[in-house]
Amino acid sequence: MKSIPKNPASSRSANVLLECAPLAERGIESIELFTVPTAKNRPNLPKKQGKHIAFIDSRVENWQQLASGIKPGTEAFLLNPTTDGIAQITKTLALRGGFDSIQIVAHGEPGSLQLGAVKLNSNSIENCSSQLQQWQNL
């Protein structure tokens, strides 16, 4: 496991750990898994039941700081900006499945969202609608 350097601009930055090997062994080299602090590290936060996952596009400025604010116990994945983000999310959900919630942190503008190398908008959504529909069953 490799430690991601803390963001020097933030004293709240969590020591986030990369655990790339398990997913790389399954053929998902472009997604990096990192864990957020457990409730033991943040005892004042209420504990939520359920299984949660967050996807963060690595182009988002200060993504490390954003990751440090994810609720304890939430699985979090860093999306590779040069690869289809919808495919990355779909593969990850298929492998890990059974989530009660999915959060996505990415760049967007009115009418579009950038997920990895894919710009999702009203013109492109039809091309990936079957993958998006799969998410509710994974």
Q: Cβ-count burial of 56 within 10 angstroms (0-12 exposed, 13-18 middle, 19+ buried)?
A: buried
> CA-CA-CA-CA torsion for 53, 97, 127, 88, nearest 10 degrees?
60
Quote the pLDDT of residue 119. 93
Q: What is the pTM of this model?
A: 0.64
The whole-angstrom separation of Cα 47 and Cα 30 is: 31
The residues of the chain scoring below 50 in pLDDT are 1-43, 45
Q: What is the pLDDT of residue 27?
A: 42
Strand order, beta sheet including 17-18? 2-3, 17-18, 32-35, 75-79, 52-57, 101-105
What is the tens place of the pLDDT at every residue in 64-88?
A: 888 888 888 888 899 999 999 999 9
| pLDDT at position 97 | 81
